[in-house]
Structure formats: structure tokens, C-alpha cells
Structure 1
């Protein structure tokens, strides 16, 4: 017998209705493009590029091979805003009149209602692919589940392996490591909050253990011991700002997917048993992940980095997977019966897939950042070939004034950017940029995060949609 999760019964907006509802949400002034790359001590400003959203279709769910595209990034950015409107987020310094107004706007009834109106559709769009990725078959009982999960506990020793290689072999390992550290806050600084919704209620015997996990995330009442605080110390030790979403524009779709997956499970209580499986995956891999991360950062920064956040996890949380299994998963199965087992297994495997996609996205981004100068040189060959080509290549000519900042985004196919006049600073990631003058350009890889800012009175440039740039070599 094959088990599948029941289809979610939810109100679905039509294409036109959903597009209108998305635009109504995303045109809140706090979500519009800004003038700066970073959001300085303002956790309410989140650039959503609403100018793109009218052209995106969120009615047809993504396939796995599409989840790193710009449309997925757009959906994940909106979902992050929607989920975090349930959390109390305060800046690190005194509220100014401007940030207080943004605070009011972010938590306003209108903003929350507009977010909730589109949340089910965006969740279906962003996460439905996972239903097709995992199929649980066979007859399961408590005993077989226990044997299976005990074998899996700590089994995923390859976690972070591809990331380690990408950082260590990068042209600029420290830049790559900082880019990786920037990806963690969406989940690390708020994931315990995503868990809170699953604690409230009547779970019976697992109640104390579940609460203990949450309390542990918050340092058992001691601010300096909280996971978030420890991580902020790591960021500060390598020269990174600590404010939540300070580096919003550098978040990759895979990173937001991983963070939002836990919010998605925590918000939708019909997925509670799936959350158990995802939590087991996170806890059973945390110690090994943390040990690898501590060693990696120590090597890359020659010891001049605070890795206590990771070394403490490596030392104290080696048995977390077993604890979750024995004190949460098995008691819940004994209370609710074997019918919930397929969902627990599905949550474990889906969390594994989400982690793999996040790592794939990051590794590709580091490669793209490292190839910045090479892609600037390669542009000349491709541009000549495009001009000589017998096929028409779609092209858009754009003129922008001084200081115009293009919020980070990506393209579904490769693009060739050609500067007709003026100066552009092209950004492909944190501390990764190329200055492009008239007659110069760059190759933009498909699905790779990038943005730009104009540094002349005006800049006129062309974007040629070349599909696969390699066909022009």
C-alpha cells in the first residue's frame, strides 16, 4: 500500500485574483525597493521587487528543478514576511520615527490580513513539489519506525560537505564563508519561534520534552546563552552586522526555502506529524554539522572567529536525535497510532531534500561569485557572437539615473548585460562586484542572485536573453 499526504483542502484564488492579492500585499511601502544594499537596524524593511510580481504566475506549483528560480525567491521572500509577522521583532537600537512607522506598518491588521489571504496559495506553489519527491510505502508500526530512525540518527555525515568544499576552494574563502554565515539568520534567528506554535496545546507525555527543546533554543532564560545570541557573536567576530535581515538582499532562495519549510510545518497543524520527522532530521544532524562548521570557520579565518555557537552544539547535542526519537516521536506514535508514521517519515525525508537544495543553491552561488572577472571577460566573445548570430535574441534596453539600485533577483535563462553608456556596479553576492563601463558587460548565469547600482548620471544598458550562453562560444 502506498501512502500519500491528503491533498490540502483550501480556498484557491484564480490567477487574476491571486496576482491582484499578491500586488496588494507587496506594494506596502516597507516592501518597495530602497536606496541601499543593506537594511540598517530595520527588521521590517524587506525588498520584494513588486514590479516583477505582476508578471509571475503563482498558481502552478513549482517542480523540484524550478525551486531555485526567481519566482521561487519571490514567493519565499513574501512567505518570510508573512510568517514573521507573527513574531515580535525589535531593532537593536532606539526606534526612530521612521522605524516606528515601519514597525506599525509591518504589524498592522491590513498587512497581516493581506499576507494571510495569499499564504495558502504561496505555500502550495512553493512546497507542493515535496509531495512528489517522497512516497512512503509498506506497513509500518512503532517497532519498525524505531529501528529505522535509530539507524538514521546521525547518519547524514555528508551534511555541509559540498559547502565546505565550495568555501575552501573558493577564490576568496573568507568572502565565501561570510556569504554562508549570512544565509543562516532567516532560520537560525527565528526557527525556535516557528516551533512555538507546535508546543501550544495538549500533547500529553511529550509536552515537557518539546518545551525543553524550545527553552534550550532561548538559552534557558539566559540571553547570552541563547542560540541567536551565540550566532550574533560569530557574525560580529568576522565583521558582519548582527541585525535581523540586515543582509536581506543576499539571501538565496534555497536558504529561505529551508527556513520557511519549518514555519510552514509549524503554522499548518495538519502537518504536525511531518514536523516531528523534520525536527528529528535537524536534531540528529546538528552535532556533526556544528563540528564541521566550527572547523571550517576556524581554518578559513585562521582562528580569528568566535565559533562557540558551533562548538557548544557539537559537544552538547550529539544525542539530540535519540532524545527526540525516544521522548517525542515514539510517545506521539504510541498515543496516536501507526497511521501517523508515514507523515513522520515524510517530514524527515523532505527536510533532507530541502537541506540538499539549500546547499546546491549556495555552492552554485559561490561558483558564480568566483567567476565574476571571468564572466566580464567572456562577455566580449559572447557579445560578438550574438551580434553575428542569424537568430534573433530578445533584447531590452534600459536607461536608469544615478543611484538607481536594482534589488537582487535572478533570471530563468542566461543573460548578457551590455553597457551602452554610463557606469554600473554589478553585484553578484556579498563583497562580490564588477564595475562595468560603456562598451563593457558581463554574462549573467541563470538562477544566480545578482543586482546593480548606477554610478553615473545615467546608464543605458541592454539585457540580451541568450538562453544558454555556451551556445554562442
Structure 2
């Protein structure tokens, strides 16, 4: 997809975002950054932004705080059928550029694997995996809160509407496995009790760190790798052709979450006992059951009915998920380590992110030398000189700081 197409798409999204629009109705992307010799990292970031906007076309969103004007008109404008159809038109090309090459690279390595052997190996690998490298590193950092705050912000791209993507995988009619998947979905939505809905529990954790709880509230400081992870999830669930790969996502995610969320729950108890960590504690408990349900009530019956090709698709979805999670974890740690190195050198300062960083210029490591001034890096703080951002890993993004 060429830059001119993305510029046109971004201009249309900007035109659909009125001044003062609630953050959930703010559709803008960084298309202006493409107009003057865009770098490879700038292009990839804007591609990820645009792909996420196509996926958000199908989310029902309302602001948490009432905004001036007619909410009916806002919905009509936000979901205008011609405009949403035009935006959807970019999706296939973006998926082909950003996600499908990874899928194609995975195919040779999983050819001939049986799904039962894969599941046994996956379960054993997750049980034996070392503790989170990010949390292990954080244990040794004297001031860890800004780094954990950044982790929460980057995660919020998905978790503030948790399970909305996977909800698209349970509509239709496909037998008893559908009912098992729906029971998992009900749990994610708090089994009908709003205060127990997982996205609401995550908001409680965000409030403990003084963070914005509005969906898309931190859109300007989502980095490229965070957007990529959440786009992979949507790629799987927004097309029925990926049904068995969706199940592979759930197989890996529900199994790994029971371990990773337990680690985060214990970390919060040790270092931030005043913060409500119920979100993580709930997952550590309930995902044990979800993993068993996916294996025994979904994967095994479908493979028994339709054969080994279904198992191959399940493995493909699980492996795509594993790679996306691992890449996001490595990146999250590398960004925090780069900021900590700059801080120890006196080149960076902790600072809470603005609740609205829209309108501030996008900076990537391969464009850092083009800018002067300070750069806000995620939820961590400020680099004193933009040029120092060149030392950060690819996929990092910053915003040219504007004093307010």
C-alpha cells in the first residue's frame, strides 16, 4: 500500500473527526508524517494505525463522559456506511503487507504436526517457561512504576475493550464447540455483571496508577509493536475464514494467560498493594478452566469431525499468537531498558503522559535526527533531546513534546 493511499485515507479520517470529539470517536492517524520523505518505521506505524482503524469500524463505542451535542448524530457520523465501507477497502492490502507474510513463514514449520502432540508440547513449554523477563527486570529497578505504567498503557489498546474481537468468532451456527466458546466469552464479559467485566476490572487497575480509562485515550502513544499485536488478534477474529486459527489463538492465549497474569498479580501485590489487581487475579484463576474448555470441548471435537487439516489451522493460529506475544514482550522490555539507560545518563526524566497527546509530531528512532526538543516516550517520560531516541529499538514511537 503506497503512501499516497494512506495519506488519502488519513485525510478522510481527519475530516470525520470534529474538533473536540470524544476520544472514542477520534479517528485520526499520523498520515501527515508520510508527506515528507517518510522513513520505513514511520510508514509501518501509520500502516498499523490504519489497519487498527479498519478493525475498530465494527466496535460499538460510546464515551464514558457525556459530550456536548447529539449522541445519535455522533453515532451516525462515526458509523456512516459509505465512510466505513471506504475504510474497510484498505484492510485486505494492509493485512497482506503486515500479517500474512508471518503466516506464510510459519506454514513450513508446522506441516505434518499433529494437534494433540502440539498441545502436549505447548502445555509443557508454558509450564516450564521462565518468569516474565520484563517483570524480572522490573524487580531490579529502583523506580519501576513508570515502566509498569507504560506496560498498562500499551496493553490498553486491546484490554479496554477486552474480548470484543473474540466476540466476533462466536456468531453464526457451528455446533457444540460454539456454545463452549460462548461460555468463555460470557466469563470475559463478567457473566452478565458489569462490575466483573474484564475491561471494567482493567479500568480499576489503570485508576490505581492515575491513568486515563477511556478507550483509545492513549492512542497517540501506542507504539508500533503494541498496535501490531492487537492487529494480529483482530486479523484472526474479524474474518470467519480464520475460524480454526481463532481457536488456535484461544488455545495459546488462555493457557499462557493463567501463568503470565498470575505473575503480574503477585508483582502488584508486592510493589503496588494499593492498586486493585483483581483483573490479573481473575485471569490467573479462570483461564485454567478456559484452557481446558478450548482443548476438550472445542479443538478435539472439531478435529475428530473434520480431520487433521483443522488441527493444522489451530496450530497455525496458536503459533501466530505465540510469535506476536513474544515479540511484544521483547519490545516492551527493550523500550524500558533504553529509557532507563538514558535516564541513568541524565538524558531522560520520568513524567506522566498527557491524557491527550494528539497533535504532537510523531517521532521514530529512524527519524530522531530530524527533530529538536524533548520527546515523550510512551507512559515513561521525556527524553531531553530528540536525537537520543535513535538508540531506541525499531517499533518505538515518541511524540515531540509541547509544553502545556
TM-score (norm 2): 0.86
With over 3 angstroms needed to count, the CA separation of the structure-2 counterparts of 1:200 and 1:29, relative to structure 1, is closer
Matches within 5 A, 1:34-73: 42-54=23-35, 69-73=41-45
Shift of 1:72: 2.6
Aligned position for 1:430: 379
Q: 2:64 pairs with 85, 92, 100, which one?
A: 92
What is the distance in 2 between the residues matched to 1:375 and 1:47?
35
> For residues 361-393 of structure 1, what are the alpha-carbon distances to aligned partners after superposition, in whole Å with 9 as ceiling and x for unaligned?
111211222233466769xxxxxxxxxxxxxxx
With over 3 angstroms needed to count, the CA separation of the structure-2 counterparts of 1:108 and 1:404, relative to structure 1, is closer
What is the distance in 2 between the residues matched to 1:274 and 1:40?
36
What is the distance in 1 between the residues matched to 2:339 and 2:241?
41
- On the 8 A contact 1:91/1:243 being kept in 2, the answer is yes
Q: Name the SS for the 2:204 alignment partner.
A: helix
> For residues 159-211 of structure 1, what are the alpha-carbon distances to aligned partners after superposition, in whole Å with 9 as ceiling and x for unaligned?
76122134333463000011101111222233412112221122112121011
Shift of 1:145: 2.2
- On the 8 A contact 2:194/2:200 being kept in 1, the answer is yes
What is the distance in 1 between the residues matched to 2:91 and 2:256?
30
What is the distance in 1 between the residues matched to 2:307 and 2:240?
17
Between Structure 1 and Structure 2, the one with more strand by share is 1
- On the 8 A contact 1:163/1:363 being kept in 2, the answer is yes
* Gap runs ≥5 in structure 2: 349-356
With over 3 angstroms needed to count, the CA separation of the structure-2 counterparts of 1:174 and 1:207, relative to structure 1, is same
Shift of 1:358: 0.6
With over 3 angstroms needed to count, the CA separation of the structure-2 counterparts of 1:33 and 1:108, relative to structure 1, is closer
Q: 2:257 pairs with 277, 282, 286, which one?
A: 286
Q: 2:326 pairs with 333, 340, 356, which one?
A: 356
Aligned position for 2:314: 344
- On the 8 A contact 2:184/2:290 being kept in 1, the answer is no
With over 3 angstroms needed to count, the CA separation of the structure-2 counterparts of 1:412 and 1:426, relative to structure 1, is closer
Aligned position for 2:7: 23
Aligned position for 1:273: 244
Q: 2:138 pairs with 167, 170, 193, which one?
A: 167
What is the distance in 2 between the residues matched to 1:325 and 1:117?
35
- On the 8 A contact 1:274/1:348 being kept in 2, the answer is yes
Aligned position for 1:252: 223
Shift of 1:304: 1.4
TM-score (norm 1): 0.74
- On the 8 A contact 1:404/1:454 being kept in 2, the answer is no
Q: Which has the larger radius of gyration?
A: 1
What is the distance in 2 between the residues matched to 1:178 and 1:368?
16
CA RMSD of aligned residues (A): 3.2
What is the distance in 2 between the residues matched to 1:56 and 1:275?
38
Q: Does 1:76 align with 2:57?
A: no
Q: 1:121 pairs with 93, 109, 113, which one?
A: 93
With over 3 angstroms needed to count, the CA separation of the structure-2 counterparts of 1:406 and 1:330, relative to structure 1, is same
Q: 1:322 pairs with 292, 307, 311, which one?
A: 292
Residues 175-184 or 264-273, more deviating? 264-273
With over 3 angstroms needed to count, the CA separation of the structure-2 counterparts of 1:404 and 1:34, relative to structure 1, is farther
Shift of 1:54: 4.7
- On the 8 A contact 1:30/1:106 being kept in 2, the answer is no
Give the number of aligned pairs. Answer: 392
What is the distance in 1 between the residues matched to 2:389 and 2:111?
49
Shift of 1:124: 0.8
Shift of 1:21: 3.6
Aligned position for 1:444: 390
Shift of 1:274: 1.3
- On the 8 A contact 1:27/1:50 being kept in 2, the answer is yes
Matches within 5 A, 1:326-405: 326-373=296-343, 405=359
Aligned position for 2:352: none
Q: Name the SS for the 2:125 alignment partner.
A: coil
Q: Name the SS for the 2:58 alignment partner.
A: coil
